[in-house]
Chain A
Amino acid sequence: MWAMVAKEFRQLRRDRRTVAMMVVLPVLLLVVFGYAASFNVSSIPTVVVGPDAARAAAALHAPFDVTQVDPAAGRSDAQSQLQDGKAVVAVVTGGSSVTVLMDGTQLFSVQTAETALAKMEQARPAGSPAPPVSVQILYNPDLITSWVMVPGLAGLILVFIGTLITSLGVVRERQTGTLEQLAVMPLRARDVIAGKIAPYLMVAAVDLVLIVLVGMGLFHVPFVGSVATFALGAALFLLVTLGMGVLISTVSQNQGQAIQLAFMIMLPQVLLSGLIFPITSMAAGVRWISYVLPLTYFIQISRGVMLKATPITALWQPLGLLALLAVVVLGLAIVRFRRDLAPSTRRAQRGEARSEESVAA
């Protein structure tokens, strides 16, 4: 038995990725659950509009974070702020009552806001002249969890296909020697890369449509926004995840290594993208990680389009960032993959190597 133990330790010592997973992963999970995993929302972006906006804003304290006070604006302006994701709560003053609009796609923020409002109501002295407050939850009035989760899960499944499955498909070619064959064949590197990625892109697109349809059919998740905007966001997100898959394959010698690396890339996205824990409740020290994860932006787009009909103009930031990530990740993946398909010429220290090719008659 001890010979087996010693052998296993020797093999582990040389398998750095497995050791990294065994050591780094628990630490990562500890940090995440320590600093990021929280359903307590301490800051709720709030806009206040209407003739009594200033007085209403003064009455609001934490967790409400008043970001805009506009006496000239009305209900439709306030609603736009929620639709565009710039605020979670909008207080509309004027008239006989104060209406508090809440973005029902932000479950935990809304629950926190409702609790805070209830406390404020209780604290109000009897006979106070302040107008009554009515709360309207928009986009997800019953605060149904599946409505919020399904758009995010769609992204998670795209990460799975784009990152893990794609990387395995490419690594398999390297293991079986067919990648060498492709490199010798008269195929352009870009044809090989595009040919490898295209089927996974198509399968992932079909998967996405299926997930959305099942979400709408089974869980009655609404789809009230622009299909074109959703498709654009999904396409950009897919390009990023496929790029990550190809990149993983260029640094993996076998499928086991590819799976490990894909898992290490997927796990932070599950935990820190806002899919489960709200980003606003994460400590600043870990919140920055969310902003480099592509799933974070896809969730903003998918939830915004499906539940709130957020217009494309309001989603320029997540769309633009996804486009940037796609260019960087896919570009890097292509550069590395090309090296496998077309080795570069290096200058020799003593004289240059000559490679002559003659075109056959």
Chain B
Amino acid sequence: MSWGLEDVRVSYRRRVALHAVTVPVDPGRVTVVVGGDGAGKSTCLKAMVGLLQPEAGAVRRPAKEHIGYVPSTAGLYADLTVQENLDFSAVAYRLPAGRRGPREAEILERTGLAQARDRLGGQLSGGMQRKLAVGLALLHSPELLVLDEPTTGVDPVSRMELWRLISGAAALGTAVAVATTYVNEAARAASVVLLEAGRVLASGSPEAILRSVPGAVGTARGGGTARPTPLSWRRGPDWRVWAPAGDLPAGATKTDPDFEDAVVVAELAGERGR
């Protein structure tokens, strides 16, 4: 069964945070909600798990026993040990008593926290805290796993390990929704929803989003601080330029856009549309 949001509208104190947003989350696939700060990513995920009630639209989610959720703050108890955090989660999610021990041991192995089981949550490094948080969310083998920026502020090695956990969950059939500000993480998902200011700018597989880039994208090498055109952005030492009608300016060579380019073009197109 497919989970997620369909044409959902959410408002905070008369300000519309989500405008008719659709985020499908299918079993066995990772759906990434990507966008900048204030785009509405956390609002999407909170609506998905029932922390917010939408004003309009539909939310499909399993019963609470089958949802795993990691908020942006990790949401683990700093004054409980790793083992105690697992024990509490196991009881809260009604894991059968006979299954708890083996399942907790499995999670400790998969997250690499077996040696730290007696350490307080607050004494773990940032990466270890995030891995514990994901482990807690996976403990009861949820049907829907929702992760709010699980890799923000985490070192690159831990980020890789976290994505292994996330992909592993999807491989076992879990429907996974991840919010992130990192475009390169969105590129590895099965499905992407690009949000800006509470609106969907683009959605689909990364390849489909790439194919849908209108016009032409080019590269203008070097140059000073002045933009070659209003529709350009920095990529390393060069400028990327987008020509909606396909007419690149002089000095810009046509380039095959990558996913990051596709995201930027979608944002620029969205701004032009407004």
A residues apposed to B, CB below 8 Å = 176-178, 180-181, 183-187, 343-346, 348-360
A-B contact pairs, 18 of them (CB 8 A): A177-B71, A184-B49, A184-B64, A184-B67, A185-B89, A186-B93, A187-B92, A343-B51, A345-B53, A348-B55, A350-B56, A353-B8, A354-B58, A356-B58, A358-B1, A358-B62, A358-B63, A359-B62
Q: Are B66 and A185 in contact, CB atoms less than 8 angstroms apart? A: no
* Contact call B51/A355, Cβ cutoff below 8 A: no
Which residue on chain B has the smallest CB distance to residue A192? Answer: B92
Residue B54 CB within 8 A of the other chain? yes
| A191 CB, min distance to chain B CBs, angstroms | 10
B57 CB–A CB distance under 8 Å: yes
B75–A181 CB distance below 8 A: yes
List, in ascending order, chain A residues with CB within 8 A of B72's CB.
Answer: 177
Q: Decide: B54 and A353 in contact? CB cutoff 8 A.
A: yes
Q: Bound complex: CA of A344 vs CA of B53, how far in Å? A: 7
Q: Is A357 a contact of B61 with CB atoms below 8 Å?
A: yes
Which listed residue, B55, B78, B89, touches A353 by the CB 8 Å rule? B55
| Docked-complex contact B64 and A185, CB < 8 angstroms | yes
With A350-B56, A353-B56, A354-B57 already in contact, 14 other A-B pairs whose C-beta atoms are closer than 8 Å: A180-B69, A185-B89, A186-B65, A186-B93, A186-B94, A355-B53, A355-B61, A356-B58, A356-B59, A356-B60, A357-B61, A357-B63, A359-B62, A360-B62
B50 at the interface (CB under 8 A from A): yes
Indicate if the CB atoms of A176 and B53 lie closer than 8 Å: no
B76 surroundings in chain A (CB, below 8 A):
178
Which chain B residues lie closer than 8 Å to A177 at the CB level? 71-75
- Asked if B52 CB lies within 8 Å of chain A CBs, one says yes
Q: Which residues of B contact A184 (CB under 8 A)?
A: 49-51, 64, 67, 69
**Are B50's CB and A181's CB within 8 A?**
no
B143 at the interface (CB under 8 A from A): yes
Interface residues of B in 74-88 (CB under 8 A from A): 74-78
Q: Which residues of B contact A343 (CB under 8 A)?
A: 50-53
Contacts of A352 in B (CB 8 A): 56
Q: Is the CB of A353 within 8 A of B63?
A: no
CB of A312 to closest CB in B, whole Å: 40
What's the nearest-Cβ distance from chain B to residue A297, in Å?
Answer: 35
Interface residues on B, range: 35 or more
CB distance from A177 to the nearest CB of B (A): 3
B131 within 8 A of A: no
Interface of A is mostly: loop
B9 at the interface (CB under 8 A from A): yes
Question: Do B78 and A176 have beta carbons less than 8 Å apart?
Answer: yes
**B78 to chain A: which residues have CB within 8 Å?**
176
Which one of B59, B69, B75 lies within 8 Å of A355 (CB-CB)? B59
Nearest residue (CB) in B for A354 is B58
With beta carbons under 8 angstroms apart, the residue of B9, B58, B63, B75 that contacts A186 is: B63
Q: Given A178-B75, A358-B1, does the pair A183, B62 have CB atoms closer than 8 Å?
A: no
Tell me which residues across on chain B come within 8 A of A355, comparing CB atoms: 50, 53-54, 58-59, 61
Q: Tell me the complex Cα distance, A146–B77, Å.
A: 42
Q: A186-B64, A186-B92, A186-B94 are in contact. Are A353 and B75 (CB under 8 A)?
A: no
Minimum distance in angstroms from B9 CB to a CB of chain A:
7
B59 with A354: CB separation less than 8 A: yes
Interchain CB contact (< 8 A) of A360 among B51, B58, B66: B66
Bound-complex Cα distance A344 to B62 (A): 18
For A350, list chain B residues within 8 Å (CB). 56
The complex places the Cα of A79 from the Cα of B19 at a distance, in Å, of: 75
The chain B residue with its CB closest to the CB of A185 is B92
Q: Which residue of A is nearest B144, CB measured?
A: A360
**Min CB gap B207→A, angstroms:** 30
Beyond A185-B93, A357-B62, whether A180 also contacts B51 by CB under 8 A is yes
Which residue of chain B has the shortest Cβ distance to A184 in the bound complex?
A: B69
User: Among B66, B77, B94, which residue has its beta carbon within 8 angstroms of that of A178?
Assistant: B77
Residues of chain B within 8 A (CB-CB) of A176 are 73, 75, 77-78
Question: Contact between A181 and B63 (Cβ–Cβ < 8 Å)?
Answer: no
Find the residue from A181, A187, A343, A352 having the highest chain B CB count within 10 A: A181
A233: min CB distance to chain B, Å: 33
List residues of chain B with CB within 8 A of the CB of A351. Answer: 56
B53 partner residues in chain A, CB cutoff 8 A: 343-346, 353, 355
What's the nearest-Cβ distance from chain B to residue A326, in Å?
A: 28
> Taking CB as reference atom, which chain B residue is nearest A340?
B51
Given the complex, which residues of A lie within 8 Å of B50, measured CB to CB? 183-184, 343, 355
How far is B48's CA from A180's CA once the two chains are assembled, in angstroms?
Answer: 13
